Amino acid sequence: MIKARVTVTLKNGVLDPQGKAIEGALGALGFDGIGQVRQGKVFDLQIETGDKAKAEADLKAMCEKLLANTVIENYSISFA
């Protein structure tokens, strides 16, 4: 079994109102010097295969088809 993590983040230049709100809230808690906060998503997947290359290809397809909206988001794949 392969354990993988997919991280989806907003592309540069895409407004992230949630990140902005979190940034403001952190500032209000007294955390100074925060340049920017961008919110993203993390998916942990367990894939029943021993073939890492196939798993990676499948994960890429999953990102393209569903996990990320490539109009506004980037994704990256890592293995545990």
Partner 1 sequence: MRIASNIGLIAWNCALAASETASNCMSFKRRRQGLNRTMKSAVVQLPGLNRDRDMIAALTKISGKAPVTVWQTETELPDVDLIVIPGGFSYGDYLRCGAIAARMPVMQAIKAKAEQGVKVLGVCNGFQILVEAGLLPGALMRNASLKFVCREVKLEVVNADTDFTRAYAKGQIIRSPVAHHDGNYFADSETLKSIEGNGQVVFRYAEGTNPNGSMGDIAGVMNKAGNVLGMMPHPENLIEAAHGGSDGRGIFASALEVIAA
Q: Which of 1, 13, 28, 32 binds partner 1 (CB under 8 A)?
A: 13
- Binding of partner 1 at residue 17 (CB under 8 A)? yes
Could you list the beta-strand ranges (E) of 1-80.
2-10, 41-47, 73-79
Q: Per-residue contact track with partner 1, 49 to 78, x per CB under 8 A?
A: ----------------xxx-x-xx------
Residue with tokens 């925060």: 34
Provide the minimum distance between the beta carbon of 39 and partner 1 in the complex, in angstroms, as a whole number: 10
Residue 19 exposure: Cα atoms within 13 Å on the Cβ side? 16
